[in-house]
Amino acid sequence: MGRLSEEKKKRLLCMYFEEELEPEEIAARMGLSGRTVTGVLSDRKLLEPYRRRSEAAKLRAQICVNESAEEAARKQAELMRGEETSVGQRAAMDILDRAGVRVPKEEKKDIRITFAAGMPKLGMPKRSGEKE
């Protein structure tokens, strides 16, 4: 990896990240060994600018989703008042989900009933014509 110029390393990274070529294809095109290509692709210092760009792109996407969440919530409420479901409703639900807005699920809790006058008789009521 030390014998590769900085320009060749940049070209290799460009081929991998921007042209989306596989390491084997990069090695063949540049006349390098697979080990050299793998070495460059695992150099954290060289990968840092790509990582930062990737993180920035994720943040921009999250901002976009968050900005559209309010509009999606309004659309969802409007569609829920109607009778039919639609692609728009599913899209609005997806946007809200990606923005982290979730409808709370019903929690299952035990119900405890207390009778003030004691326990009632248990059992099924008698059929008409049966003796008690």
Give me the average pLDDT of each 10-residue run along the chain (132 residues). 81 90 94 93 89 87 80 73 67 74 66 65 66 60
Distances, alpha carbon 85 to alpha carbons 42, 75, 100, in Å: 48, 12, 22
- The reported pLDDT for the residue numbered 58 is 87
- The reported pLDDT for the residue numbered 102 is 66
* Intra-chain end-to-end CA distance of the chain, in Å: 96
- The reported pLDDT for the residue numbered 77 is 72
